[in-house]
Amino acid sequence: MITSIGLLLNVLVAVVLLYGAEYGERSDMSYIGWAGALVLFAGLFDMMDGRLARLGKMSSTFGALYDSALDRYSELFMFMGIIYYLISHDYFFSSIFAFIAMIGSLMVSYVRARAEGLGVDCSVGLMQRPERILIVGISAILCGVFSYFLGPFKIHLFGTLSFETISIFTFPMAILAILANQTALQRLAHSKKVLDETELPPAKSSQKIKNFGILREKKQASIGLERR
């Protein structure tokens, strides 16, 4: 139930941004600000669902799968709204970073899910789901707040490069795009290292393979819970 509420709130995030893209002015960042508040609010539900399920002794393997699937849908709806908003208001370059951030976010979760399906503990990396939610939500809120109190501004740096109101939101988005993909690659490298260790000659790796099997059994029961 809590996971479903989180998904509905992220659908609302997309609706707010789609409405702002179609009917809002380019200089009006209030839609981004409200969308950011909804992202953080939805994130609270995403972070609570697994913990409440365990406390209430209602956790299950399917519940973990359901939670993980809806989290992916939530992120896709959120990024759909962001990308459409940026393209509609002619922030095409920023929309590319948003798209790369979406790819990285999905790959972070996919690599962990696939690795843990093979028995590898793959929770390494900086840009996990809570961090992604905080970056998007806080930067969007700050963009809306600065726009409300200071109005639209644009500071020319050098050449065609400038820093304007929307940059308060899009600059962290570019950082997210880089770090999310770096986290996905880090998890891939970590998984390769662990899996390679299990392929040593039998005389040298029997104990490691035994430990690997125990770890796999534990992880298969808890895959998808908490941070993805």
pLDDT tens profile 157-182: 777 777 899 999 999 999 999 999 99
Picking from 223, 110, 129, the residue whose alpha carbon sits closest to that of residue 176 is: 129
Angle between helices 129-150 and 61-88 (to 10 degrees): 30
Strand partners, 154: 164
Residue 134 Cα distances to 78, 138, 139, 173, angstroms: 13, 6, 8, 11
Q: Say if residue 57's pLDDT is above 90.
A: no
Q: What is the model's pTM? A: 0.83
How far apart (Å, rounded) are the C-alpha atoms in residues 187 and 183? 6
Higher-confidence residue: 190 or 48? 190
pLDDT in tens, 177-223: 999 999 999 999 999 998 988 876 555 545 554 555 555 555 555 54
For the chain, count helices (H), then strands (E).
7, 2
- Domains of the chain, first to last: 2-222 (1.20.120.1760)
Instruction: Provide the strand spans (E) within the chain.
Output: 154-158, 161-164
- So what's the pLDDT on residue 37? 97
Sign of the alpha-carbon torsion through 167, 171, 176, 177: positive
